[in-house]
Structure 1
Amino acid sequence: MSQAFAGRRVLVVEDESLVAMLLETILEDMGCVPVGPAATVDEGLQMANDGEPIDAALLDVNVAGRQVFPIAEALRARGVPFVFSTGYGEGGLPDEWRGLPTLQKPFTEAAVRDALMKAMGMADV
């Protein structure tokens, strides 16, 4: 467990329950507190806007057939860093969202940790 992540609250937006459970386990192993998971864009938007403290977020780009970008906008407005996860890699993102930390599915625990560290502006621990 990394002390750098101890107690960090990470919102998970993922519609595939097995992937969501995997992410929760990875986050817990890193010392994070998973928030969610949200399985729809509306649910994720509600969690992003309800005022709960969120330190970062993992956002599946395609959630139940809808694009996750409204949640990304809400988090950006709050100054919350986030990581996109997609089967298409960064190339599958619209131009305005490229260059942000992106996880290619399937991902490893190390990839999740590295992407969150990059998003949160943390040096390698």
Structure 2
Amino acid sequence: MLERSLEGCHILVVEDEYMLADELNMELSVLGATVLGPAGTLEDAIHLIASEVRIDGAILDVNLGGQWAFPAADALTHRQVPFLFTTGYDQSVMPSRFADIVLCEKPINIMQITEAVRYIVHN
């Protein structure tokens, strides 16, 4: 058993690339997490953040079909839900209010992402 298990954790996946979203869904499920989503649009992400009773952590793609995902990040912050960003962009596109948020650059490594999710959920 992993030291920092995701067993029973509710993890929101916000990713517009279907194959990546599916891969994250499968890997998080294998690790025992309940996956919320995946949401592929900013609108779907905002809806899930507002409607889900429990979110223990989130993976948030910075760009969702040409829309910045920062309103979703703000909603997660408001709910005090820990999250990380995935992006193909560099740190310069990130608003300063998110300077302390974990940023995983694409192409992502699924093992690194799941380890980062364990970190944010348990710290």
Q: Same fold (TM over 0.5)?
A: yes
Alignment of 1:1-125 (within 5 A): 2=2, 4-122=5-123
Partner SS, residue 120 of structure 1? helix
On the 8 A contact 1:101/1:118 being kept in 2, the answer is no
Q: Secondary structure at the match of 2:5?
A: helix
Corresponding residue SS for 1:5: coil
Contact 1:13 1:36 in 2 (8 A): yes
Distance change in 2, residues 1:121/1:89 (3 Å): farther
Structure 1 unaligned spans of 5+: none
Question: What TM-score does the superposition give when structure 1 sets the normalisation length?
Answer: 0.87
Residues 61 and 84 of structure 1 are in contact (CA less than 8 Å); yes or no, is this contact kept in structure 2? yes
CA shift, 1:92, in A, is: 3.7
Q: Distance in 1 between matches of 2:112 and 2:91?
A: 14
Higher mean C-alpha deviation, range 2-11 or range 44-53: 2-11
For residue 114 of structure 1, give the secondary structure of its aligned residue in structure 2. helix
Structure-2 separation of matches of 1:119 and 1:82: 7
**C-alpha displacement at 1:29, in angstroms?**
2.1
The number of aligned residues is 122
Is 69-78 or 111-120 further displaced after alignment?
111-120
Gaps of at least 5 residues in structure 2 are none
- Whichever residue aligns with residue 54 of structure 2, its letter is P
- The CA RMSD over aligned residues, in Å, is 1.7
The structure with higher relative contact order (CA 8 Å, sep 6+) is 2
SS of corresponding position for 1:42: helix
Amino acid at match of 2:31: M
